[in-house]
Amino acid sequence: MADTSDEPTTALPGRPAVTDLATWQAARDELLAREKAHTREGDAIAAARRRLPMVEFDGTVEVVGADGPVPFLDLFQGRDELVVYKHMWHDGAPHQGQCEGCTTTAWHLQDASYLNARGVSFAVLTTGPWHEVAPYAEFMGYTQPWYSVRGVDGPAGGPMGYLTGYLRDGDRAFLTYSTTGRGNERVNGSLGLLDMTPYGRGEAWEDNPEGRPKGNSPCWSWRTDADGNATWGPTSRPVPQWTRPGATPVDTLGRHGHHH
């Protein structure tokens, strides 16, 4: 049978070169050496992270959750360690108007059972007022605890969009670590899987071989309209919202100013 794999009618644009298994394995093994070095460097960075100093703050400062105002120390749920995600909030905006980047992070953090097994609790904090936050978390189906830190300064509150770590020693609370931007990617398994694929994330900043389709702006796939078309316009929702009951097509994001 004739080999039709290189016919223009079937070839994907800029697809990887075709080779035999042994040649592929040699190239794969060469890359594996770099991947292992990358892993070891990550281990060394994590070791340095564990040696960072920490900052004490008032663990009795009150945050607002499903049970009303509680001291920040309650977020530890009796455990010694706590990881939180600080979710940005657009005051007064409907569900679809809330932050798409924060949605990708929170959506990938819906189960804390492995954290709990290691003595680490998890919660989501946001500057949104509780009467807006509660129905949003319910709409999204989030089961991890959410708290409003509106008006709370210092390590317990502060800027949103961060993954932050805390330690509790009795009734004393300490800030141990915080990261944002691409530091948040480590919880987004979808991005890690996309990085394994030939066409990657489909973003313009990526270093791609000649002939690959031109990439889009960063995070272009985080919002879609009801038909699944990527858009950041007024008909869009953060992608996971389309899986939620009652997520109907929209025509406005309803944002009236940013409270990050």
Dihedral, CA of residue 201, residue 202, residue 207 and residue 213, to nearest 10: 150
- Is the model's pLDDT at 40 over the cut of 70? yes
pLDDT at 260: 38
Lowest mean pLDDT among 1-5, 91-95, 136-140, 152-156: 1-5
Pull the structure tokens for residue 58. Answer: 């008032």
Q: What is the pLDDT of residue 3?
A: 52
Name which of 72, 259, 212 is nearest 154 in CA terms: 72
**Who's near 8: CB < 8 A, 6+ residues apart?**
none
Q: What is the mean pLDDT of residues 48-57?
A: 98
pLDDT digits (tens, 9 = 90+) for 159-175: 999 999 999 999 999 99
* Mean pLDDT within 178-198: 96
pLDDT of residue 11: 82
pLDDT for 142 equals 97
pLDDT at 68 over 70: yes
**How many separate helices (H) and strands (E) can be counted in the chain?**
5, 10
Query: Does the structure show a pLDDT above 80 at 9?
Result: no
55-181+221-243 is classed CATH 3.40.30.10 = yes
The pLDDT of 193-198, averaged and rounded, is 96
Nearest Cα to 124, choosing from 113, 108, 254? 108
Residue 248 has pLDDT above 50, yes or no: yes
Q: What is the pLDDT of residue 240?
A: 97
Q: Is the pLDDT of residue 85 over 70?
A: yes
pLDDT at 8: 56
For residue 215, what is the DSSP state? P
Query: Quick check: 81 pLDDT over 50?
Result: yes
pTM more than 0.85: yes
By DSSP bridging, strand 120-126 and strand 81-87 are parallel
> Tell me, what's the pLDDT at 194?
97
- Give 258's pLDDT tier (boundaries 50, 70, 90): very low
In this model, does residue 199 exceed pLDDT 70?
A: yes
* 233: Cβ contacts below 8 Å, ≥ 6 apart: 225
